[in-house]
Amino acid sequence: MGRILNFIREWTLPCAMAFGTCVYLLFSEVSFLEPVGNAVGPFFIEIMPLLVFAILYVTFCKIRLHDLKFSMWHIWLQVIRLSLAGLLIVIMTGAGHETKLVLEGMFICVMCPTAAAAAVITGKLGGSIASMTVYTLIDNALTAILIPIMFPLVEKESGVSFAASFMMILEKVVLVLILPFICAMATRRWLPDLAGKIKAAENLGFYMWAFNLSIVMGITLHYILTSGISGLTMALMIAAPLAVTFMLFGIGKGVGRHYGDSICGGQALGQKNTIVGIWLTVTYLNPVAAIAPCAYVVWQNLVNAWQLWCKEKYGEVKW
């Protein structure tokens, strides 16, 4: 029993992904459980922002206001992200249907805003939660402005409304990033004993995120299994995000290392809010392209799991 618990602790993220996969397959394949599964899925999608809120509240209770500082790597990563997205739009011009579909999936993986919960993994790896928080604010705000500008270039008839997309992302940013931050700072100021207890529970936010990941994995598997595309296109839609994952994490770490913040740089550019990406793709682009951010969920969390294992075993991330 002890060996099993140690294995789960060392490989929490893959275990969470496997759990989410098994639960989804159970509800989708066992006929008498299908009605329950149909009700549970939408319920979890609705409460997911609240789960992320709780995760970040716990995480933000560990930082102080004067730790929030701007760095030049925040700007450089935005320049790189937008340059890569622009390059993909140019390559898409004149591409065939299936090729464009794969490129569209890669585009959404690049343009996807940084996950609000990236601060959880960053803190677990020994990076600066405060610096990641500042970057996430910048990244989400810029994404909200650029999506209605760039999406019509990808799908000419996407019909994306500036006000609609801006308000959708703004709402998510306020709920899952700003509000828990304000509550955490208020707790530190007026309820220091509670903040101290939360801070003492070092892995609480991480295990809450793992639970959230299992839900995301079930949603991801649903999109992949119900897409109805050819085997070759499916293979490309799954493999291309793997290349994008390594590219984004690698570039982010390289830029961050230049400023003495390798961990933050890698997580900032590599760890994406794929739920927002999936929603945007299904709503405004070709819905089939949502398979790419679904695959990205798997790849980015396998990278995170490997980094956490390195941190646990060697005391540092060897990348």
Taking residue 46's Cβ as centre, other Cβ atoms within 10 Å add up to: 9
Paired tokens of 273: 């809010």
**How far apart (Å, rounded) are the C-alpha atoms in residues 79 and 255?**
11
Handedness of CA 170, 172, 178, 179 (dihedral sign): positive
Interval 119-134: pLDDT, tens: 889 998 999 999 999 9
**How far apart (Å, rounded) are the C-alpha atoms in residues 86 and 81?**
9
Taking residue 203's Cβ as centre, other Cβ atoms within 10 Å add up to: 12
Strand partners, 4: none
pLDDT, greater one: 11 or 108: 108
Cβ contact 299:14 at 8 Å:
no
57 φ, ψ (degrees, to nearest 5): -60, -45
Residues 6+ apart with CB under 8 A from 46: none
- Average of per-residue pLDDT values in the chain: 84
Alpha helical stretches, state H, 155-178? 162-173
Interval 24-46: pLDDT, tens: 777 766 555 556 555 555 666 66
**How far apart (Å, rounded) are the C-alpha atoms in residues 273 and 43?**
19
Count CA within 13 A, CB hemisphere, residue 44: 20
**How far apart (Å, rounded) are the C-alpha atoms in residues 316 and 126?**
8
Output the pTM of the full model. 0.84
Interval 212-263: pLDDT, tens: 788 878 877 877 777 777 788 889 999 999 999 999 999 999 999 999 999 9
First to last CA, the chain: 32
Amino acid at 223: Y
Confidence of residue 294 (pLDDT cuts 50, 70, 90): confident
**How far apart (Å, rounded) are the C-alpha atoms in residues 130 and 67?**
6
**How far apart (Å, rounded) are the C-alpha atoms in residues 37 and 28?**
7
